[in-house]
């Protein structure tokens, strides 16, 4: 039995039932938001997160489309608690927040809603979610601004204010949104979907409280958090102990500056997992700055990957984790630094920890992957309706190889998590484009005993004049890294094939590239890094790679030391090993 403060006891079966009920509530909130949203970036791509915290803002459960949101919900709630206190919150209140530097932690496009949950007059929990709105205004369509130089160019800011006060909506906020975004029906529709999801969480928590006592629920919450910590510490004991280093660069800030050096010192003890990013670049003029909240979310993601990636997420899991960084740096930016493309530095910070530990944890960590969100915003007028359209989506690419396994092809970067592309059929129906190509990219990169996963080629053909493409492809100058002699991967890049036959590019980052009818934007994402000496790859596998068109016959000979006869599908080794057929 578990003893609580009032001397009663709670059997472990009840604790497990309540714990799992809280987890299922997070899942139900997640599904409710997807099913009621208006924007493909939410219901197709799943660029959002939802969950519950306790009354102090400690995360209890979180459903993620985007892995990079791990931790941001609890920061949002804590900002709410700090601003209002329990006395300033009422049943039916809903707070809207997208402040990147405090509770929000990402960029203005990711709008958070927080709802206090009361029971018998007492604040007992919060439901919260964070979703990428198609539009929050700003100087560019989609509010993805890769050449801004201050936050005020990036869209509407909601500084932890009440959208609902005792169940009464603030119509002034609604009208401000309606008047400042380019697609108000989508943005407001998504806002109301978020509200519906929050109320789902409130209802389920109150049902739990009706069924069990407040003492039981509180004990279950403490049990949930303590169990998360216990599981994390158990896995922490298995990690190599010591201090590990890595350095790298963020390519560019989007307005002509860079690259920017970033570094980490990771110290692992029996009790703590410490990531020290001091000495990294100061915050920069362009919009790749990341807030401290974003940095913490990045480190939480990789911490889960090296400890227990299948573990249910709550704040107890991260009690052994410590994140240190200098203020006003590229990964701890302060107002009014632009942050629209914060995700490139968030990912770069995550990748540093990954890179420092990869060779020490070959069973958990692969070689370098595409890393970048590879964000694309494409706007214009639909050819049939003359109505404006807007594509906002991430891109898939190649993951690195690992000990005993080739890399995965056509997957999103680690911080994007369980997200998706906008399907070809949806894109061609709703938007003024055709998809000329969507295929694996075979560029000869990522060779190794185990080869890097392949990036993709995704080509959009403009069907009307005066379209514009804003593309943010990081990992353009510094390629995905290999391990143990494996080759580097390839860059993320895009080029434009114009209707007159000329070709412009390749580029990594470009704001508002002008497109005329029949111009084609060809997006090329990276191949992941290889693992191990390519000459150790079995020749029969090399021959199969050539069959699959991953590598050409010439590349097979040069990179792997295997001559492949494509007429008869036989092979011969040129390396110092026994050949075969």
- Once rounded to an integer, what is the mean pLDDT over residues 188-212? 93
Residue 115 has pLDDT above 50, yes or no: yes
* pLDDT range class, residue 418, cuts 50, 70, 90: confident
Angle in degrees, CA 324, 328, 329, rounded to 5? 65
Q: Global pTM? A: 0.90
Q: Which residue has the tokens 């807030």?
A: 291
**If you average pLDDT over every residue of the chain, what do you get?**
91
Quickly state the pLDDT bin for 576 (edges 50, 70, 90). Answer: low
pLDDT band (50, 70, 90) for residue 3: very low
**pLDDT tens, residue by residue, 135-169:** 999 999 888 889 999 999 999 999 999 999 999 99
- Reading the block at residue 156, the tokens are 């509407």
For residue 247, what are the β-bridge partners? 263
Q: Which long-range contacts (CB under 8 A, 24 or more apart) does 10-17 make?
A: 10/216, 10/219, 10/220, 14/212, 14/216, 14/220, 15/219, 15/220, 15/223
**18-50: pLDDT as tens digits:** 888 888 888 899 899 989 988 888 888 888 889
- pLDDT at residue 4, as a whole number: 43
Give residue-wise pLDDT tens across range 360-377.
Answer: 998 899 999 999 999 999
The full length of the chain comes to 581
pLDDT of res. 8: 47
Do residues 458 and 395 touch, judged by C-beta distance below 8 A?
yes
Taking alpha carbons only, the member of 443, 458, 344 closest to residue 410 is 458
For the cut 80, the answer to whether the pLDDT of residue 206 exceeds it is yes
State yes or no: pLDDT of 56 exceeds 60: yes
Task: State mean pLDDT over 295-320.
Answer: 90
């Amino acid at each position: 039995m578990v003893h609580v403060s009032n001397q009663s006891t709670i059997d472990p079966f009840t604790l497990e039932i309540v714990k799992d009920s809280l987890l299922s509530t997070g899942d139900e909130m997640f599904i409710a938001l997807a099913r009621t949203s208006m924007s493909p970036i939410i219901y197709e791509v799943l660029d959002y997160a939802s969950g519950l915290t306790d009354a102090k803002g400690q995360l209890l459960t979180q459903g993620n489309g985007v892995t990079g949101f791990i931790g941001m919900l609890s920061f949002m709630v804590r900002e709410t608690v700090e601003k209002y206190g329990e006395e300033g919150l009422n049943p039916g209140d809903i707070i809207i927040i997208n402040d990147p530097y405090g509770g929000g932690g990402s960029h203005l496009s990711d709008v958070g809603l927080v709802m206090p949950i009361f029971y018998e007059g007492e604040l007992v929990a919060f439901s919260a979610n964070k979703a990428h709105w198609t539009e929050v205004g700003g100087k560019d369509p989609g509010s993805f601004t890769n050449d801004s130089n201050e936050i005020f160019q990036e869209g509407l800011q909601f500084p932890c204010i009440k959208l609902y006060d005792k169940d009464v909506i603030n119509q002034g906020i609604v009208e401000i949104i309606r008047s400042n975004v380019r697609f108000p029906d989508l943005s407001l529709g998504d806002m109301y979907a978020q509200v519906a999801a929050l109320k789902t969480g409130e209802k389920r928590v109150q049902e739990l409280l009706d069924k069990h006592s407040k003492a039981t629920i509180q004990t279950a919450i403490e049990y949930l958090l303590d169990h998360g910590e216990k599981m994390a510490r158990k896995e922490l004991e298995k990690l190599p102990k010591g201090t590990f280093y890595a350095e790298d660069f963020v390519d560019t800030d989007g307005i002509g500056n860079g690259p920017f050096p970033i570094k980490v010192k990771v110290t692992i003890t029996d009790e703590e997992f410490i990531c020290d990013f001091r000495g990294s670049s100061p915050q920069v003029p362009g919009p790749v700055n990341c807030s401290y909240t974003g940095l913490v979310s990045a480190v939480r993601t990789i911490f889960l990957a090296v400890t227990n990636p299948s573990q249910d997420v709550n704040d107890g899991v991260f009690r052994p984790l410590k994140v240190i960084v200098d203020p006003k740096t590229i990964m701890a930016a302060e107002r009014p630094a632009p942050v629209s493309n914060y995700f490139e530095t968030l990912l770069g910070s995550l990748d540093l920890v990954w890179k420092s530990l990869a060779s020490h944890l070959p069973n958990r960590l692969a070689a370098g992957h595409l890393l970048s969100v590879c964000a694309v915003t494409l706007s214009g007028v639909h050819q049939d309706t003359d109505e404006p359209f807007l594509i906002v989506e991430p891109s898939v690419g190649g993951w690195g190889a690992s000990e005993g396994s080739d890399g995965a092809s056509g997957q999103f970067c680690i911080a994007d998590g369980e997200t998706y592309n906008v399907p070809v059929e949806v894109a061609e129906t709703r938007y003024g484009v055709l998809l000329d190509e969507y295929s694996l990219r075979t560029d000869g990169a990522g060779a190794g005993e185990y080869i890097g996963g392949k990036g993709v080629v995704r080509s959009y053909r403009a069907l009307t004049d005066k379209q514009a493409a804003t593309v943010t492809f990081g990992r353009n100058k510094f390629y995905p890294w290999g391990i143990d002699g494996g080759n580097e991967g390839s860059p993320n890049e895009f080029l434009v094939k114009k209707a007159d036959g000329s070709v412009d590019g390749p580029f990594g980052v470009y704001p508002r590239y002008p497109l005329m009818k029949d111009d084609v934007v060809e997006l090329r994402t990276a191949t992941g890094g290889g693992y191990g000496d390519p000459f150790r790859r079995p020749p029969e596998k090399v021959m199969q790679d050539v069959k699959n068109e991953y590598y050409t016959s010439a590349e097979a000979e040069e990179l792997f030391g295997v001559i492949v006869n494509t007429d008869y599908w036989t092979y011969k080794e040129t390396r110092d090993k026994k050949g075969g057929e």
